[in-house]
Amino acid sequence: MSDDLSDVAADSSHYKPPEKKSIDEILKNTDGCDESLGKYKGFLLDATDPANMYDPEDPRSVILVNISLLVDTQPKISIDLNSTVRMDDIVFRIKEGAQYQLQLNFFVQREIVTGLKYIHKVYKHGIPVDKDSFMIGSYAPKKDLQRYATPPEDAPSGMINRGKYKVKSRITDDYGHDWLTWVWHLEIAKDW
């Protein structure tokens, strides 16, 4: 599946990610008496304490916990990724022409994550109809839940655009880590 999404991620033409440094490397680096850097290092040291992690047993640095569909006129629809639901079974149904956003809720722990991005490719009847890459940002580890919502989009309208769309999604970063890859479905209907 990553092959389907790799061409979307490559769209960031001339961007060069910063040199990857672990928190240990940052903490060991002596930069003189820079007070703000000292505070930042203290924050990082506190963030690597297992008591301050979302899930100390989970070796991942990025843990996606739920996905929500935010639709302008309807209550939020959420899928808890800690449940037993199969990702392929996820179907979000929305009315044609409705404005919607996808919201990702996640934790960052253990290491700094730079250039986190959400990539998706949309198919109808097996034919690619849309592809996008959204920059989520860079995050230092902390116990707080992080949220990202894609920019608002209007669902297509008209009989020809109604139906089920298959969406292949991936969360990745500047260094090509595949934090999560999943498939879900978006159904565009005449009515709710």
CATH class of 2-189: mainly beta
Instruction: Evaluate if residue 190 carries a pLDDT over 80.
Output: yes
Q: Using the structure block, give the residue that is written with the tokens 């979302």.
A: 54
Q: So what's the pLDDT on residue 54?
A: 87
Q: Determine what percent of the chain falls in helix, strand and coil, rounding each to the nearest 5.
A: 20, 45, 35
Confidence of residue 32 (pLDDT cuts 50, 70, 90): low
Type of residue numbered 157: S
CB of 90 closer than 8 Å to CB of 79: yes
Helix (H/G/I), strand (E/B), else coil: 43: helix
Q: Where are the beta strands (DSSP E) in the chain?
A: 62-71, 77-80, 91-95, 99-108, 113-124, 127-139, 142-149, 153-154, 163-172, 178-189
| Claim: this prediction has a pTM higher than 0.95 | no
Averaged confidence pLDDT in the chain: 83
Instruction: Evaluate if residue 126 carries a pLDDT over 90.
Output: yes
**CA distances in angstroms from 139 to 24, 78, 85, 148, listed in the order given:** 16, 23, 28, 12
Instruction: Evaluate if residue 182 carries a pLDDT over 70.
Output: yes
Average pLDDT of span 44-61: 79
Q: Which residues pair with 114 in a beta bridge?
A: none
Q: So what's the pLDDT on residue 2?
A: 46
Q: How far apart are CA 70 and CA 60, in angstroms?
A: 27
